[in-house]
């Protein structure tokens, strides 16, 4: 993954982790500066540690570093289109938390009960779980 224009689109935890782990610890092409500042290295190290912890909700179903852009794109495309039409913020939360139950899904999808019938909620949860099963 390569971030071309920062700030144009939110990134999932898995994408942030992949980006941080792919960054070099030295600064090429900067004369006189051979290493990253100590504060930046500490923040990067702590963020990687946090996103890699097994207590992260997303780690219950997959290792975030193992996600590939195609897996994220497939789920995102499915959830954006009919019949779901979820908001980008809801999709991002689904990617980060990977809900396993309707109650968890209700915490990341606004007005779940009003937007979807109980059967649709179950089907949405199944779609998410089926896609996430492919990530293992």
Which residue ranges of the chain lie beneath pLDDT 50? 58, 60-65
Last residue of a domain, one of 22, 40, 60: 60
Is 8 part of a structural domain of the chain? no
Q: How many CA atoms lie within 13 A of 73 on its CB side?
A: 4
Are 50 and 72 in the same domain? no
Peptide bond into 83 cis (omega under 30): yes
**Contact between residue 95 and residue 69 where contact means Cβ atoms under 8 Å apart:** no
Q: At what angle do helices 13-22 and 88-97 cross, to 10 degrees?
A: 70
Which of these three, 24, 39, 60, is where a domain ends?
60
Q: Residue 85's domain spans which residues?
A: 65-133
Closest CA to 92 of 79, 106, 111: 79
Residues 46, 105 within the same domain: no
pLDDT of residue 86: 95
pLDDT, residue 33, reads: 73
* pTM (predicted TM-score): 0.74
| pLDDT for the residue 32 | 72
pLDDT for the residue 121 = 96
- In tens, the pLDDT along 93-131 reads 998 888 989 999 999 999 999 999 999 999 999 999 888
């Amino acid at each position: 993954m390569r971030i071309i224009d920062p700030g144009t689109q939110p990134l999932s935890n898995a994408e942030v982790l992949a980006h941080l782990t792919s960054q070099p610890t030295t600064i090429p092409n900067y004369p006189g500066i051979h290493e990253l500042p100590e504060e930046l290295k500490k923040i990067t190290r702590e963020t990687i540690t946090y996103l890699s912890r097994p207590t992260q909700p997303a780690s219950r179903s997959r290792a975030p570093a193992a996600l590939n852009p195609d897996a994220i794109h497939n789920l995102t495309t499915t959830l954006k289109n009919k019949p779901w039409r979820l908001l980008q913020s809801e999709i991002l939360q689904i990617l980060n938390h990977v809900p396993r139950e309707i109650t968890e899904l209700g915490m990341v999808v606004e007005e779940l009960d009003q937007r979807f019938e109980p059967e649709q909620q179950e089907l949405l949860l199944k779609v998410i779980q089926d896609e996430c099963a492919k990530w293992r």
